[in-house]
Structure 1
């Protein structure tokens, strides 16, 4: 048996989905399961393209009609399917795993999710036409295999009874590709090129810089009303798709069909994407959480037993939301590091302003100075590096930001040492008043938990390309010298900052290579004229090196901190 470390390394290739699978192996080997039989089908789509599909049958009672659990994956069906089949066939399901279009043994050309709504529908219709199907289907998967589920949900057939979606967003544009209007450079280049998707998929991503009809094809948001079944949503506080996960839960509860609104469930843990569910251990980033942060993966088949077989496992009659409140990992007596339940998300709507002050302090007191401000110089040739956060192929999770906090192009605002714990649970926004001397610039805001030893551990962060401040469908240039007020979305968290700690906000004009560098010249993306084939040869070097055009500009940006223009955080602090 391979070591857990070797399996974790192997999991990187499979983009977390196989991280779950690979880390299953030592656990699965210790349990006995029913045997199964397998049949490979080439399932025809409406355009004649055939998709490689493995069907796993329980060995006993072969002629019995059964419900189906389906996974559609771009990462290769064979190894993943065989590893997970025992968990489902032993619970009386038919387990199906399919290579998506153009991937591995499937025919056609991959379009990176653009065909998955139609292909998913055609696959479900094929399943229900088989003599072994009882007409009930559930879908499952993490990351890309969660995205294929949400695209299917845009036009679901009646046979789709439930879904189990982990670490996946409803809208790829807003969460995965252009968060805050800025290209998530390392994620897009890294994932597409490392997984050897056709170059036209990368060209599609970087050429459709505004939200348009292309992105609408893979966005569930406008079609929440078509969802009329139960979904188990699972998200991680440090996951790169976190907010898109939460938005899907909130949107379907509010706008879904009548059978969906009260049957959406949500679980949020202290997990990164590659550390999802804690299956590789309780360490996330540079912090080690208690063992209670690790999710029991054997609950996954139980979910389908309830929604497909009608066996009461306590999910639908239990609390709608289960979330992990993070806390000080060094102090066993500190509050937090516990699971809580709620009837809905968000759990409250209380937003408390914490203001940035010119002396570097952060407090609930409104500034009194009429002219207070602080400035920084933003040089595209020397961007502020990304350290941790909601990443995939870059180091992820809670990591110490102190190496960047002493830079001249970074502004730091800290509370005094807390005399009592401070809980933050919900979505965080930063309202920033700024002036700059270029036609476009970026605002990056990081929120950190400062430990007594000086470590400034990242909680969450947000990013905004200023030209997208008015709309995601078009860009509006800045007028140099004019003051603007913008809102930066730092997404969501749940954490208790312990007494003896500080809360800190870190403001800059870049976070590279997580986000593309703004060249301040009015163009959204600057890619060297060499063909993208050059990027494919060494994507890590390409993705982590700014491509400086001849006309790039250095921005001089001022953040206003006055009574009339008070830049501040809006923190979801529960009312006492």
Structure 2
């Protein structure tokens, strides 16, 4: 079973200067040591709701430092059945063996905990109260850390925003920043398969939840107050951020690190770490593999070092190392990975880069030569009843494959435009944000445009690198005042944010840009009407490729040994 089944909705009210909770002094009177029989204990929150937790105590006598994780996936469920690991991060046994108390708590309204479950809406205050409760127990020395992957990473992030006094460090894995872009909507388009399935997985009605305030695609007071980006200024601790280039929350991991490392409050600024691996939210599908770069294994080597330094004061050199370690991907066919695949240290993210633009042409080419013709365009019919199928990508669920699957599985079709370079004469290495500067029109009020970045191998394998959409009415932003329907037939400039990656397109490979208008069921299909209640219609969409409308793939070129323009 995939231990990184994810959570993706943040619905929280950032709190500054939160009041001290009422501490329920309920330590286990005869808690067993080791991991074979954890004690269930209860922590009372400030509103009187009691949350249940399993407490794993080390052998011997305390008090000890404590590591907490808070989960909607049930503390007594399958994620925590193996005491050696817990949902993608180190588990009770390893922490106990190294002299830590380990606590796994059911979040409000889940498992044995009281209260009503509303995804992530209570986790700032509840995280604060839980940390301060743990610090007051007889087996605790008052030095608390928090850890978690995916949903548990979100609850860890939210506890850090609450800034409980006894929380000294956090270690989070594959967790998003904001609901609007990182998990629920990308480019204004609902991440339909991920969100609807996850809401059902935690027992919620997807339709009703997504229609409620704070879950709609537009930005408003309900969504803004519940976005993590609005609360980062309250974080005052060192945090270790772990992500993957094919992870559904790739961008959130990077943005949290960059903001806290460079703009964070005292205690956070300059004290962050970032590890980016060639991984997805779950196991990668397709024919690529990156030996020696398994996220769980690599991150596991750092997790205890991190807490040993910040909770025990160990002089283990973790803060003497570069703050960023990112994996530079390269050719990686299973069993034949290039030696150009490696981890690269960096002082920050993104590394210094030179922006280059690759321009698509009507004949299917992609080159560094900007168009000079006065008029050039390609039109296609987009029928929402016959969308392009999802094949891989940064999705949560493995049903359609995760990561760099072969895009040749998508047949030749008029609404799926492939543009390729000639085989590269030299390596091209990129690291940083990727985007498409798109000039496009439609014959109606609204439609979607989708872009893909693909690494085409010499044998034709089309390895998906990144993909993302833009809903035309949100091309200027998600604020209601910025929403604007399209004028039929009039080209508009819009930016498709493909998020970040680090990859060397090796000599002999081709760089491919794909433009289409659907990717189903990963993203909700646009009915092309601008009115969700209207009957879907076939749209005629047009991509412009001329000197006044130079659609371009924008890449951050980095200069590493063996790679050049």
Fold similarity call, TM over 0.5: yes
How big is the shift at 1:317?
Answer: 1.0
Offset of 1:45 from its aligned partner? 1.5
Question: Would the aligned equivalents of 2:325 and 2:345 in 1 still touch at CA under 8 Å?
Answer: yes
Deviations 1:342-399 (A, max 9, x none): 1110012421111111111111110111101111111100111111000111421101
Q: 1:471 aligns with which of 465, 468, 477?
A: 477
Q: 1:81 to 1:309 in 2, by over 3 A?
A: farther
By how many angstroms is 1:128 displaced?
Answer: 2.0
| Secondary structure, aligned partner of 1:153 | helix
**TM superposition score normalised by structure 1:** 0.86
Q: Which residue of 1 aligns with 2:405?
A: 399
Partner of 1:309: 312
Contact persistence 2:34–2:56 (CA under 8 A) = no
Question: Which structure features the higher share of helix residues?
Answer: 1
Kindly indicate whether residue 499 of structure 2 is the aligned counterpart of residue 487 of structure 1.
no
> Which position in structure 1 is the counterpart of 2:291?
290
Is structure 2 residue 363 aligned with structure 1 residue 365? no
Residue 228 (str. 1) matches residue 236 (str. 2)? yes
Equivalent residue for 1:443, pick from 434, 449, 453: 449
Task: Give the alignment of 1:111-150 within 5 angstroms.
Answer: 111-150=118-157
Residue 327 (structure 1) aligned with residue 330 (structure 2): yes
CA deviation vs aligned residue, 1:180-202 (integer Å, no higher than 9, x gap): 11100001101111332355544
Separation (CA, whole Å) in 1 of partners of 2:106 and 2:374: 61
Q: SS where residue 250 of structure 1 aligns?
A: helix
Match of 1:546 in 2: none
- Out of 103, 114, 123, the residue aligned to residue 96 of structure 1 is 103
Determine the structure 2 residue equivalent to 1:432.
Answer: 438
Secondary structure class of the residue paired with 2:526: coil
* Cα separation, partners in 2 of 1:286 and 1:203, compared to 1, 3 Å: farther
Map 1:208-357 to 2 at 5 A: 208-275=216-283, 284-293=285-294, 295-296=297-298, 297-330=300-333, 332=336, 334=338, 336-357=340-361
Q: Could you tell me which residue of structure 1 aligns to residue 185 of structure 2?
A: 178
Deviations along 1:151-192, one digit per CA (max 9) or x if unpaired, are 222221121111101000121221100111110000110111
470-479 or 358-367, which moves further after superposition?
470-479
Cα shift at 1:124: 1.4
- In structure 2, the residue matched to 1:537 is none
Secondary structure at the aligned position of 1:351 is classed as strand
3-state secondary structure, aligned to 2:153: helix
**Aligned residue pair count:** 519
CA contact (8 A) 2:309 2:315 kept: yes
Query: What SS is found at the alignment partner of 1:246?
Result: helix
1:48-76 CA-to-partner distances (Å, cap 9, x unmatched) read 22111111111201xx2222100000111
What secondary structure is seen at the aligned counterpart in 1 of 2:332? coil
Tell me the residue number matched to 2:549: 565
Give the deviation of 1:38 after TM superposition: 3.0
Moved more, 129-138 or 564-573: 129-138
Give distance in 2, aligned partners of 1:35 and 1:369: 70
Report the secondary structure of 2:126's partner residue: helix
Worse-matched range after superposition: 128-137 or 288-297: 288-297
Cα 1:35–1:44 change in 2 (3 A) is closer
- The alignment yields a C-alpha RMSD, in angstroms, of 2.2
Cα 1:112/1:207, change in 2 over 3 Å: closer
User: Residue 396 of structure 1 aligns to a residue in which SS?
Assistant: coil
Could you tell me which of 187, 191, 198 is aligned with 2:194?
A: 187
Name 2:60's counterpart in structure 1.
60
Q: 1:492-518, CA deviations, whole angstroms, 9 ceiling, x for partnerless residues?
A: 111111111111000001111111000
Give the whole-Å Cα distance in 2 for the aligned partners of 1:484 and 1:553.
Answer: 21
1:209/1:319 Cα in 2 relative to 1: closer, same or farther (>3 Å)? same
Deviates further, 126-135 or 405-414 = 126-135
Using the alignment, how far apart are the partners of 2:411 and 2:434 within structure 1?
Answer: 21
Cα shift readout 1:210-247 (whole Å, capped 9, x = no counterpart): 12333334422122221121110000000000001101
Residue 505 of structure 1: aligned partner: 513
What is residue 385 of structure 1 aligned with on the other side?
A: 389
The one of 151, 155, 165 equivalent to 2:158 is 151
Give me the whole-angstrom Cα distance separating, in 1, the residues matched to 2:548 and 2:132: 60
Counterpart in 2 of 1:542?
A: none
Aligned mates of 2:524, 2:293 — CA distance in 1: 37
Once residues 151 and 510 of structure 1 are traced to their aligned partners in structure 2, the CA distance between those partners, rounded to angstroms, is 33
Q: Distance in 2 between matches of 1:467 and 1:407?
A: 25
Distance 2:336 2:114 in 1: 54
Alpha-carbon contact 1:110-1:198 (below 8 Å) kept: no
- Provide the rounded CA distance (Å) in 2 between the counterparts of 1:454 and 1:239: 25
Distance in 1 (alpha carbons) for counterparts of 2:58 and 2:215: 47
CA shift in 2, pair 1:305/1:145, >3 Å? same
Match of 1:69 in 2: 67
- 1-structure distance, mates of 2:294, 2:129: 38
Q: Closer, same or farther in 2 for the Cα pair 1:267/1:564, shift >3 Å?
A: same
Structure 1's 154 and 35: CA in aligned 2 closer, same or farther, altered over 3 A?
closer
The reply on whether 1:164 has 2:205 as its aligned counterpart is no
With normalisation by structure 2, the TM-score equals 0.87
